[in-house]
Structure 1
Amino acid sequence: MNNEVHTNRLESEIAGWNSKEDRLKKLFKSSSSLENSLLKEKLRFYESILLKYKNTNQLDERTALQIIRNERNTLIKKIYPDRFRQYFYKLLSKFVVERINAQKESREELKSNQLLADNLERAGFKDAYNKVDRYMRLGQDKFTVPISYYLNEHDQMNHSLHFIKNEQGHYDFKGFNSNLHHQNANNENRQYYFNVDEVKAFNSEQAYELLSGRAVLTAGTWKQLDFNQKGVDSNYQLKEFHESYGFNIEKSVSELFLKTSDQSEINSLIDSLKEGRREAVTLTKEGKECKVYIEANPQNKCLNIYNENLRKVTIESLFRVKRDVPLKLQSSLKSQDNKVKSKCRKI
């Protein structure tokens, strides 16, 4: 399939020139200078094709370029019958072509490196560019750059950034593999490979959230790793919950008894939850405050709530009246307490 695409690419350019040549012949068929002008224009076209595709690795294109190279030499002899002029043209052409080629290569390299830097920044690896640049200077066809750091005393993230040299001799960022090592009793490890398409949707921070089991909202769809299923590539399957699934995070947050009523703070909280983060909030009800952690749970269309010990709880359990003492006794004790306070005030 790739060979077909590349062959069609070169064939398309040649077909375009042939069509242009036919139109010019019909348009200027009575011109005496037409043939010589067309030959010179055709020579320039051949030179540009040879320059443009000189680094191709495709066999069909290399064969086509050899034919064009022979045709170019035939044209030079036809346009410049004198051998000295042929030699002068080739010498001048080589000098000009090399200069143009050097300038073009420099521009393309700068453009390619900037694109690579932008892709790395978007993926959350902005600080890795200098390290990547050192690898690029080695000129290998492909290479992998390791990135490792701790997020807290228990969680360590290890990334492997993958790069491959393209046909133009520049490097493309092909994706990254992320491994989350959680230092608990089981020393749990989870990993996932984000391919070139997924790199556009997820960054390194979101990779951590996904590997931690949380859901991330991207392009209007909630996505979450399924740790019970793997595909043929040994990657965890991605569960998707589209807008039509019915999870409304704004509504879920509004149903919490948040202490804050500042809408900008609430909006920031919602945005953070959409990124897959677990956020600390304070809930208040009937004068009682509770500090908890919350995270999005699109599959169950709700928010997961954890206490300060990161144990899953419910709103009801947080604000439930304790049953250790019977309600009537609680009321009696409260009445007695009020009487004591009343006497104290009189004294």
Structure 2
Amino acid sequence: MENRVENELDEWLTRERRFQKLFSFSLDNNRAFLREKLRYYRTLQAKYRARAGPKEQLTLRMMRQEQRAIEKQLYPNLWVRLGYKVLLDIIGTSSGKEQKRYTANIRDLQESFRKLGFPDIPLDKQQLADRQKMTVPVSYEVGENKRMAFELQLKQGDKGQFYLEGYTAALHETGAGSGVKKQYFQVDRENNINTRQAYNLLSGRPVVQGNGENRHWMQLDFNDRDPHGNYRVKRFYPGYGFDLEKKLRELPLKELRTPEERRKLIKALHNGEQKEVTLIQGYKQQRIILEANPRFKSLNLYNGKGEKISLAQALNGKISKRTRLKKGKRLGKGRPGKDRFLVKRR
């Protein structure tokens, strides 16, 4: 295992030789230089004391002897030297508490980032020091011609700790339909929009937000903006009359066979996803893409090319309004646990 302490001491010696060439006076008795050297040694002690290997521990012990020699040179009086050490202990304790506070704050911030779907974002004490607000940029590709760019807004609270106040999400599209759609999302304890939902909203699809009685669909109106430049939000509460599960039951979907598959499908649609599903047509199956459309109390259907289609087109025939099946067909019960099948009417 390499000796990290020795490597850093070598860096200091390189710096010391360079200074010796630059200045005519001797560094051995220069108080400013000796204080800086002592400060550098203390930093190394604090950095490696708790995680030093056997070779590094020996180097640290040798370094402490040189520290004591420099302290005697700087402060020959015993009482002054003792006072100096007491002062260092007080400063070290205060500095340690501050470092722990910043470390805990950074850990909390990174956890809040992860909950919203952001990747690991490196932060350090220097970034948070002496600021009341700061912006952290994040960007990644979401498709061949699509990129999501985020600006995380951090704000300092009354107790000095930073928290995630909100973020601006921007969807950049190139090629056909190129442009940028941007929206600010507030972060609070209950109703947060994660990164995937933000992408779906900026793509024009609705998502479900809120809990209990406040649970509702929301969708961005790209034809209207508020005074801050954000798109206005259309909200559709339960009283509006859109029942997603009822609409799904009207379709002969393979994904509705088991409770687990049904829950996964509903969750995806609630998050604004376009979900690929299987239509059962007798002994044939056809893949289509679904998305929720609460505004018109319906479901949008797309073929494999991404073209919007009707249910009749999806089933390749005229649909009976009562059964949603092709005319001349009816549902057979089939065996328990098996798919139901279509038989000709007599």
User: So what's the TM-score if we normalise by structure 2?
Assistant: 0.59
The equivalent position to 1:124 in structure 2, one of 103, 117, 129, is 117
1:112 correspondence with 2:141: no
Distance 1:97 1:243, change over 3 A: farther
1:173-322 equivalences under 5 Å are 173-197=164-188, 200-219=191-210, 220-260=215-255, 261-321=257-317
SS at match of 2:273: coil
Distance 1:200 1:135, change over 3 A: farther
Q: d(CA) in 1 for partners of 2:231 and 2:189? A: 13
Render the CA deviation track for 1:10-41: whole Å, top value 9, x for unaligned: xxxxxxxxxxxxxxxxxxxxxxxxxxxxxxxx
Q: d(CA) in 2 for partners of 1:189 and 1:164? A: 26
Q: d(CA) in 2 for partners of 1:126 and 1:234? A: 27
8 A contact 1:123–1:200 mirrored in 2: no
SS at match of 2:239: helix
Distance 1:236 1:199, change over 3 A: farther
Q: d(CA) in 1 for partners of 2:176 and 2:125? A: 39
1:117, CA displacement in angstroms?
2.1
Q: d(CA) in 1 for partners of 2:314 and 2:202? A: 28
Q: d(CA) in 1 for partners of 2:192 and 2:131? A: 28
Q: Which of the pair has more CA radius of gyration?
A: 1
8 A contact 2:252–2:279 mirrored in 1: yes
SS at match of 2:254: coil
8 A contact 1:224–1:238 mirrored in 2: yes
Q: d(CA) in 2 for partners of 1:139 and 1:200? A: 30
1:30-179 equivalences under 5 Å are 105-106=98-99, 108-128=101-121, 130=122, 132-133=123-124, 136=127, 139-179=130-170
8 A contact 2:186–2:192 mirrored in 1: no
SS at match of 2:223: strand
1:97, CA displacement in angstroms?
8.9
8 A contact 1:179–1:191 mirrored in 2: yes
8 A contact 1:305–1:312 mirrored in 2: yes
8 A contact 2:242–2:297 mirrored in 1: yes
Q: d(CA) in 2 for partners of 1:279 and 1:229? A: 28
**Aligned residue pairs: how many?**
229
Render the CA deviation track for 1:221-245: whole Å, top value 9, x for unaligned: 1111111111111100111111222
Q: d(CA) in 2 for partners of 1:189 and 1:135? A: 33
1:277, CA displacement in angstroms?
0.6
Distance 1:96 1:195, change over 3 A: same
Render the CA deviation track for 1:287-333: whole Å, top value 9, x for unaligned: 343211101111111111111111111111222439xxxxxxxxxxx
8 A contact 1:288–1:319 mirrored in 2: no
User: So what's the TM-score if we normalise by structure 1?
Assistant: 0.59
Higher-helix-fraction structure: 1
Question: Residue 274 of structure 1 aligns to which amino acid in structure 2?
Answer: H
Q: d(CA) in 1 for partners of 2:224 and 2:114? A: 31
1:191, CA displacement in angstroms?
0.6
8 A contact 2:288–2:314 mirrored in 1: no
Render the CA deviation track for 1:152-206: whole Å, top value 9, x for unaligned: 1021111111223344433222211111012232312111011234994201111
1:112, CA displacement in angstroms?
2.7
Unaligned runs of 5+ in 2: 1-86, 319-346
SS at match of 1:257: coil
Q: d(CA) in 2 for partners of 1:139 and 1:196? A: 23
Give the RMSD, CA atoms, in angstroms.
Answer: 2.9
Q: d(CA) in 1 for partners of 2:102 and 2:120? A: 20
Unaligned runs of 5+ in 1: 1-93, 323-347
- The match for 2:336 is none
Question: Residue 195 of structure 2 aligns to which amino acid in structure 1?
Answer: S
Q: Percent of aligned positions with the same letter in both sequences?
A: 33
